[in-house]
Chains A and B, each alone.
Chain A
């Protein structure tokens, strides 16, 4: 009973994205543009770029994914799609948190994958070695997943309010600090030729904890937003 429902929630986002494929590229483009601004603002010699690369790539990717996810539930709340979620979860007994989890998974695939695909291009600009690039990709994959989870909760909390997107940014950015620290540290370590396993493991641990905590919290927020 629960699988068709979750698949429907998941596939709707894919269908929406397939109708507007250019929207997916926009976030990746934003990421490339922001990362390309930094060498222009500084002297682009190889040493400075190598020092900057992990931080700039990480913050650029973080902002791109966050901007894409900030008003995740806004249209769905207005159109009544979330009310349908509540009704469906009540009728079938599938917890609302599972529907939210399916939605967040779709959100991660649709917003983080384009950014991940653009990352090698930007890494080329910064002269990242292949080993460091591999670590960057893994850390971005884990870190953006954590970010989408936290942004999902914030988007549910701010749902239906004025200036919701800005509010989501204000809420998520301080909470995202550990993600940036661990992610950038992993890339720094890989660039120095040291093992990056510890930081990647911490990112994985964050993902494991938040994957359990965030969907129920977001479901609470959506319920409150529907009732308000």
Chain B
């Protein structure tokens, strides 16, 4: 009940705007704090791999990027569902704000995968099940962004994009189970509950990098949602007052909130 009321409290664009303003910068700093030790573990502290040499270190970018590309889609589908069911404008805006970051991570996982595949498998690209489904995930993100752009920032984009988000979410299980369906070149998942095949330092580096990716995603999504709200609510008085307060000397801020 408490979580629900918290969710709907921030469903008003005005409150979400304020919340995003408060949290974006701390998230960015926290991402940096996790990123630096993560990079140190990834590049310095862990030894080179017995088989793959130094080349395996791209894993510390590749794996978090691949995870994030899938997770962000799941979060987008969640916000799309919430927006469709409860008609909350802010949920749609959250989904829109997450999409570019998700597309970026999907592209990053494909690019780092190609860079890794060339020395290890001897080829930039193979039509392996996991690679193919990652490519399809990127295409689904791009289709979503194309539909979003076609509406040119109007509120009419909300429900169509949410419906597309849910339809694309049907594809996520196919991606996840593709390794089991078509058993091909790509190695299976290394991290599974009850079965760890990674040494401690590597795992710690991987988790730190993943945490940094999460926090960076939060920060960019919050910054982007502020821009989306500012574009959508440009005609409202509260935004004008807030803007005036931001440019005016400090006491103005108190007056705007009063």
Contact = CB atoms under 8 A, between A and B. Distances in A.
Interface of A: 150, 153-154, 156-158, 161-163, 167, 170-171, 173-175, 177-178, 209, 213-214, 217, 220-221, 223-225, 227-228
A220 B163 contact: yes
B82 interface: no
Interface in B102-146: 132, 136, 139-140, 142-143, 146
Contacts of B140: 174-175
Contacts of A213: 167, 170
A161 B164 CA distance: 15
Say which size band chain B's interface belongs to. 20 to 34
A224 B156 contact: yes
Given A170-B143, A220-B163, A227-B156, 5 more contacts: A156-B163, A167-B147, A178-B174, A220-B159, A223-B159
Given A173-B139, A174-B140, A177-B136, A153 B146 contact: no
Contact of B166 (A154, A174, A217): A217
A173 B140 CA distance: 9
Most chain B CB neighbours (cut-off 10 Å) among A161, A171, A217: A171
A150 B136 CA distance: 16
Most chain B CB neighbours (cut-off 10 Å) among A157, A158, A163, A223: A157
B174 A157 contact: no
Contacts, number: 64
B84 interface: yes
B154 to A, nearest CB: 8
Given A173-B139, A178-B174, A153 B150 contact: no
Contacts of B84: 220
Contacts of A157: 147, 160, 163-164
A161 B150 CA distance: 7
Contacts of A161: 150-151
B81 to A, nearest CB: 12
B159 A224 contact: yes
Could you tell me the dominant secondary structure of chain B's interface residues?
helix
A126 B18 CA distance: 64
A65 B232 CA distance: 38
B128 to A, nearest CB: 13
A221 B159 contact: yes
A211 to B, nearest CB: 13
A209 B167 CA distance: 12
Contacts of B160: 157-158, 221, 224-225
Contact of A163 (B139, B143, B150, B170): B150
Given A220-B159, A221-B159, A223-B159, A171 B151 contact: no
Nearest to B162: A220
13 contacts: A153-B163, A154-B164, A161-B151, A167-B146, A171-B146, A171-B164, A173-B139, A174-B136, A174-B139, A177-B132, A217-B163, A223-B159, A228-B156
B37 interface: no
B150 A175 contact: no
